[in-house]
Amino acid sequence: MWASLFLLLFAHTGKCLADFAFISNLDRDVEIQSCVARVIEQTFGLSRRFTYIYNDYIEYLPSAIANPIIVINARKPWSHHYNFYEAMYVIEAFDSGTLRETMKALKESTLWHPHSTREGKFVILTNEKDLASIFRAVWKFSILHVVLVVFEDGTNGKVVTSDPKTQENGCGLTPKLFDYQDCDANLAIKFLSPMRNYNQCPVFIDFHNPYDHRLKYIKPLLPVIEDVLNTTSIRVREPPSKPEMMAVGE
């Protein structure tokens, strides 16, 4: 009899624990989606369209969100019908290797714009513990506005940002200095202004239009700009040469 009562009690307790674990996981999923929605709102605003890129299955996309969204599976062939939209991206990447593959696919797609994408805003949703590898994977494309939401075991998300243009971060080569925030109602995401202290790190200026006449005016001003921005050098990446005009009749 006692054995039967013990088994009954054990079975009932086990079921309660299983139900509790299910409810706890469900609550955590709700918290994670709330966190992602909060980060999206602060990064893009409530009405701006953004592109949500995932790998095979969607894990973190909030079920109720006001923004227009383009959803793309990075593991499938990217449609050539995608045009460049606003340079705002949310990328699900379990680790840095997945992120590198996704960034490469994005770079080769029609969604990439050589100027606007680099000035765009990126939210990276990841479980990667090596934060330096995540920032390097994005900074290598000269993308500066990056927000990481890191989901470690048992947490509802930490929001991490960093400035590549510091000596502590090796001017973007060796990320070490990170700013952490809890993903709660006190979250405040701020992006750095282009006109700021670059801490003796190099700066790139891209010109993609061979007919852009600003280039000839900016070059003489580079020493002054370098002094104002506290940068060691401003490197101008020029477009290909203008195509030779064909003579009439050729």
Do residues 125 and 91 lie in contact, with contact meaning Cβ atoms separated by under 8 Å? yes
The reply to whether 163 falls in a domain is yes
Q: Within this chain, do residues 240 and 128 fall inside the same structural domain, yes or no?
A: no
Could you tell me which residues are beta bridge partners of residue 150?
126, 158
Split into its structural domains, the chain has a count of: 2
The reply to whether 4 falls in a domain is no
Q: Within this chain, do residues 204 and 105 fall inside the same structural domain, yes or no?
A: no
Q: Which residue has the tokens 């805003």?
A: 121
Q: What tokens were used for 10?
A: 């054990």
Q: Residue 157: left if φ>0, alpha if ψ -120 to 50, beta else—which one?
A: left
Q: Within this chain, do residues 38 and 102 fall inside the same structural domain, yes or no?
A: yes
The reply to whether 11 falls in a domain is no
The reply to whether 123 falls in a domain is yes
Question: What CATH number did the domain enclosing 80 receive?
Answer: 3.40.50
Q: Within this chain, do residues 27 and 112 fall inside the same structural domain, yes or no?
A: yes
pTM of the model: 0.78
Where is the domain boundary, 161, 182, 203? 182
Where is the domain boundary, 182, 214, 232? 182
Q: What tokens were used for 153?
A: 């075991």
| pLDDT at residue number 16 | 45
The reply to whether 187 falls in a domain is no
The reply to whether 190 falls in a domain is no
The reply to whether 162 falls in a domain is yes
Q: Within this chain, do residues 151 and 208 fall inside the same structural domain, yes or no?
A: no
The reply to whether 188 falls in a domain is no
Q: Within this chain, do residues 164 and 91 fall inside the same structural domain, yes or no?
A: yes
Q: Within this chain, do residues 159 and 239 fall inside the same structural domain, yes or no?
A: no
Q: Within this chain, do residues 162 and 218 fall inside the same structural domain, yes or no?
A: no
Bridge-based pairing state of the strands 203-206 and 179-182: unpaired
Could you tell me which residues are beta bridge partners of residue 53?
72, 91
User: Which range marks the domain in which residue 33 is found?
Assistant: 17-182
Q: Within this chain, do residues 220 and 147 fall inside the same structural domain, yes or no?
A: no
Q: Within this chain, do residues 169 and 240 fall inside the same structural domain, yes or no?
A: no
Do residues 126 and 93 lie in contact, with contact meaning Cβ atoms separated by under 8 Å? yes
Where is the domain boundary, 141, 157, 182? 182
Please give the chain's pLDDT, 250 residues, in tens. 545 544 444 455 454 433 333 333 445 578 889 999 999 999 999 888 899 999 999 999 988 788 888 899 999 887 765 666 678 999 999 999 999 999 999 998 888 887 788 889 999 999 999 999 999 999 998 898 999 999 976 667 899 999 999 999 998 899 999 999 999 889 999 988 888 888 888 877 766 565 667 767 777 777 887 888 888 766 665 544 433 322 223 2
Q: Within this chain, do residues 113 and 141 fall inside the same structural domain, yes or no?
A: yes
Q: Within this chain, do residues 168 and 210 fall inside the same structural domain, yes or no?
A: no
How many whole angstroms separate alpha carbon 49 and alpha carbon 80? 19
